[in-house]
Amino acid sequence: MEWLPELRLGWLNGWLMLAVFYLVFALLMIVFPRDVVKKLYDRSGWTRQQRWLSIVRIPVALAFFILAIFTPLKIGQPVFIVGLAIFCAGYLGMLVALFNYRNTPVDQPVTQGLYRLSRNPQWLSLATMFAGTAIAMGSWLALLLLAVVAVVYHSRILSEEKSCLERYGDSYRAYLKRIPRYLIV
pLDDT of 114-157, one tens digit each?
999 998 999 999 999 999 999 999 999 999 999 988 888 887 78
- Cβ distance 152 to 159 under 8 Å? no
Alpha-carbon dihedral 90, 40, 153, 45, rounded to 10 degrees: -160
Number of CB atoms found within 10 A of residue 42's CB: 13
pLDDT tens-digit profile of 59-94?
Answer: 888 888 899 999 999 999 999 999 999 999 999 999
User: 13 - beta bridge partners?
Assistant: 72
- Cβ distance 132 to 87 under 8 Å? yes
- Cβ distance 50 to 159 under 8 Å? yes
Res. 43: pLDDT tops 80: no
* Confidence (pLDDT) at 152: 81
Q: Three-class SS of residue 173? A: helix
- Cβ distance 29 to 37 under 8 Å? yes
- Cβ distance 168 to 108 under 8 Å? yes
* Confidence (pLDDT) at 127: 92
Res. 185: pLDDT tops 60: no
Alpha-carbon dihedral 156, 159, 165, 166, rounded to 10 degrees: -140
User: 139 - beta bridge partners?
Assistant: 2
pTM metric for this prediction? 0.84
Q: With left for phi above 0 and alpha for psi between -120 and 50, is residue 9 left, alpha or beta?
A: beta
